Amino acid sequence: MHVARQKMEANSEHTAHDLRASVFVGCSGWRYWKWRDSFYAGVAQPNWFEHYSQAFDTVEINASFYSWPTVANVRAWRRQPRDKKFVYTVKVCELITHVKRFKGTKTLIRDFGIIADLLGERMGCFLFQLPPSYHFTKARLKSIVNQLDPARRNVVEFRHKSWWNEDVYRAFRKAGVIFCSCSGPRLPDELIRTAEDIYVRLHGPLRWYRHDYSDEELKKWAFRIKASGARRAWVYFNNDYEANATQNARSLDRLLSRRASSQRKPER
């Protein structure tokens, strides 16, 4: 990826594609065996992505967190939706966020960023997720902000509540970094906007990945998103157990009235 970035940067400047003002609702991943008897019931595994893309127009790619993707991987992602309008958010590799923890990672971040240029109009956001043990300090905040490429659509997700503070919001607003609002255990239950876009990950307020959001809970998030005034909203459900994510995402999508439900394929 480093060589690919050098070649591409020698020929052109990279910029974030100006996606339409909209709301993108999807799931944090789509290849879950736990969904095979519910969301994917009757669908052959090679056709899972096609089925998913008929229900949603975006997904968070989580495989990139565990293994640094190759240029061939990314080109395959771009081809995968065929002629459908489909956008990816890419979770940044744990080498940057969990192993090195933003220490001396500026070149790695730039190398990873070439994914956006390869995906082109299919690129949404880069999601940098930090571990729960990563507490707030001003030095860490400065390191994060100084290393992120402002030409990208960067989202930072914290898992420790100390990061919900005005120093962070102020620095992110100045740099145009998107603060990830989280629905998760022991995290502040609020929507934070620090850029034109907002980004929400719904893991489950009481138990990670297992919660089934009620209508009232989804209505609360829909109200927050509509009231935020954001140019774009990115919302991903990571409560993947028992396919709660797909059901909840479809429900929230309808609440946000992004498009008539008749335009979507009925969920299995």
- Domains of the chain and CATH, by start: 25-263 (3.20.20.410)
pLDDT of residue 257: 73
pLDDT of residue 11: 52
Question: In a structure prediction context, what are the per-residue pLDDT tens digits for the chain, which is 268 residues long?
Answer: 545 444 545 455 555 665 555 999 999 999 999 999 999 999 999 999 999 999 999 999 999 999 999 999 999 999 999 999 999 999 999 999 999 999 999 999 999 999 999 999 999 999 999 999 999 999 999 999 999 999 999 999 999 999 999 999 999 999 999 999 999 999 999 999 999 999 999 999 888 988 999 999 999 999 999 999 999 999 999 988 888 999 999 999 999 975 433 334 434 3
Distances (CA, A) of 216 to 59, 248, 251, 252: 24, 12, 11, 11
Backbone angles phi, psi at 145, to 5 degrees: -60, -40
pLDDT of residue 260: 36
pLDDT of residue 263: 38
Amino acid 18 reads D
Strand partners, 28: 60
- Decide: 254 and 21 in contact? Cβ < 8 Å: no
3-state secondary structure of 112: helix
Please tell me the pTM assigned to this model. Answer: 0.89
pLDDT of residue 91: 98
pLDDT of residue 262: 34
**List of residues 6+ apart from 220 with CB closer than 8 A:** none
